[in-house]
Amino acid sequence: MPDVLEREISTTDPANPLTLDAIVVGGGLGGLYALRRLREIGLTARAFEAGSGVGGTWFWNRYPGARCDVESMEYSYAFDDELQQEWKWPERYGTQSEILRYINHVADRFDLRRDVILNTRVTSAVFDPASNTWTVRTDTGHVARAPFCIMATGNLSTPRVPDFKGINTFKGRWYHSGLWPHEGVDFSGLRVGVIGTGSSGVQMIPLIAAQAKHLHVFQRTANFSLPARNGPLDPEIEATHKSEYPARRTAAYDTPFGIAGFPPPVKAALEATPEEREAKYEAKWAEGGSISFLYSYTDLLVNKAANDTASEFVRNKIRSIVRDPVVAELLAPKDHPIGTKRLCLDTNYYETYNRDNVTLVDVRSSPIQEITPAGVKTEDAEYELDTIVFATGFDAMTGALREIDIRVGNGPTLAEKWAGGPLTYLGLMVSGFPNMFTITGPGSPSVKTQMIVAIEQHMDWIGDCLATMRARGMHRIEPRPEAERDWVQHVNDVADGTLYPLANSWYMGVNIPGKPKVFMPYVGGFAGYKNKCDAVAANDYEGFVMSR
């Protein structure tokens, strides 16, 4: 006899939908914490997850070298002190498999797994304004109903392979970094091509080069990368960090990136002498880590002349590492200020180009024309390959939401509302789409912070909001259109006051053909953002309309 839960979960009969207080979309770090928080406030919920396991990003991105670029002592949940005290991270930066092991541990430890429905992709979410109910349907035929829908769909969860002509004619195997086979890939003896040199490419290239017969790296835009300086986690650092954990977690809320422990800079770059700057950048380069480097001076992300000093420092490092001066110059980014695209962290990335079995192909000057049965054809050559790896990125921040048919009654879809770019109030809700929350949605600091701190802050805010609604006997909440308009304007104004818009980045949506060029994350800093969210709640949910 199936128990109640099994019967509920197997519900695919529209006349007998799974009936809940809240539906969560996604079983990654956001979805799992949503389940935990909803349970805490006494709401029933289930999460639908497309993967065959929990973990989101860390479930899918299993490419060689996949590793978090936020330090492992920071990149973890803060909601349970025993958890953070007991968990042991082996290295300074967590590997994909280690982080996935941690997420599975959390799912078991807090008994969250029973509320996750795996192998199930949400295809539509339709709100009925008369009953204030979301009906969610999935590709496996589930139908679920709930007054609230929480989108924990991730910011980098929609992998994109460019629409290259001939891709289906390729005789070898090809892979995308974000859809990596669980059994791994053995590149031994193979001629491999990696297309893309963002964070994923930069991490995998040294490892693939060490295994492959020959590696061709197809680079369109050179990216800045700093040494991660990874290594075993120093037990003393671990012990100190653990003794300070609660205080550090609280302090993280008062920082721009949601990470404590980096003293804020006090000086502008151009106030320092060239010798002082060089010494500072050198120390940061030796220390490893991107936030620390960007924290060298107050103005690296707002003043181009200041940024030029840091950018040139890293370009000179590249020139000093890479022996072939032509290759070094190609690898030295010149088209965007450092930090305005996601700053990569690496282990032996630039050194890899000194290997005899690695060739850098500049596909900016000679773009890829097609994939042929034999390999990759650019404007001026054809490269014969056994395997192609696409490290070509994601339809970031809005991709996963735009793929779901989200609508209110027969109204326009969310994708239609966002045709000119995402519109949200605080990155938490969308006007005209009541009772739907977005965890780390566009217009919130999200990808510009330590993601887990952002997830917890969002879901704590949402949990408090739902508890308040229940206490007041309210059934419906949505942002006022004018609050949304003003917030979107603010998000744009803040971005325009920085150097970020100077880069053609996925933050701007420009990596996806046809996507509107709009800066999507909020870069006003996590601390100010959290204060704003708290003030909105304290001020009777200012900018939102609650109703019965």
**Residues binding ligand NAP (CB under 6 A):** 67-69, 156, 162, 177, 195-201, 203, 218, 220-221, 342, 363, 368, 391-394, 447, 506, 511
Angstrom distance (rounded) from CA 269 to CA 276: 9
What are the backbone angles phi and psi of residue 109, rounded to the nearest 5°?
Answer: -60, -35
State which residue, 125 or 330, has the beta carbon closest to ligand NAP: 330
What are the backbone angles phi and psi of residue 131, rounded to the nearest 5°?
Answer: -105, 0
Angstrom distance (rounded) from CA 415 to CA 423: 10
Question: Which sign does the torsion angle of CA 180, 181, 184, 187 carry?
Answer: negative
Angstrom distance (rounded) from CA 393 to CA 176: 9
| Least CB distance to ligand NAP at residue 482 (A) | 32
State which residue, 156 or 536, has the beta carbon closest to ligand NAP: 156
DSSP state of 196: -
| Least CB distance to ligand NAP at residue 318 (A) | 16
| Least CB distance to ligand NAP at residue 309 (A) | 23
| Least CB distance to ligand NAP at residue 512 (A) | 9
Task: Give the CA distances from residue 31 to residues 131, 462, 547, in Å, rounded to whole numbers and listed in that order.
Answer: 25, 13, 26
| Least CB distance to ligand NAP at residue 295 (A) | 18
State which residue, 162 or 543, has the beta carbon closest to ligand NAP: 162
The sheet carrying 436-438 orders its strands as 116-117, 45-48, 22-25, 148-151, 436-438
Tokens, residue 104: 């599975």
State which residue, 447 or 469, has the beta carbon closest to ligand NAP: 447
Which residue is at the shortest CB distance from ligand NAP?
198
Secondary structure (H, E, C), 191-247? EEEEECCCHHHHHHHHHHHHHECEEEEEECCCCCEEECCCCECCHHHHHHHHHCHHH
Cβ(511)–Cβ(461) below 8 Å = no
| Least CB distance to ligand NAP at residue 58 (A) | 10
| Least CB distance to ligand NAP at residue 533 (A) | 23
State which residue, 153 or 203, has the beta carbon closest to ligand NAP: 203
Task: State the number of CA atoms in the 13 A half-sphere of 321 facing the CB.
Answer: 19
| Least CB distance to ligand NAP at residue 48 (A) | 23
State which residue, 409 or 513, has the beta carbon closest to ligand NAP: 513
Residue 126 — left, alpha, or beta (φ > 0 → left; ψ -120 to 50 → alpha)?
Answer: beta
Angstrom distance (rounded) from CA 151 to CA 444: 14
Tokens, residue 400: 């996963």
Angstrom distance (rounded) from CA 38 to CA 22: 8
State which residue, 64 or 525, has the beta carbon closest to ligand NAP: 64
Angstrom distance (rounded) from CA 276 to CA 520: 35
State which residue, 178 or 421, has the beta carbon closest to ligand NAP: 178
State which residue, 162 or 172, has the beta carbon closest to ligand NAP: 162
| Least CB distance to ligand NAP at residue 156 (A) | 5
Q: How many residues does the chain have?
A: 548
State which residue, 187 or 394, has the beta carbon closest to ligand NAP: 394
Q: Which residue stretches of 334-450 are H helix? A: 399-402, 414-417
Angstrom distance (rounded) from CA 195 to CA 134: 41
| Least CB distance to ligand NAP at residue 98 (A) | 13
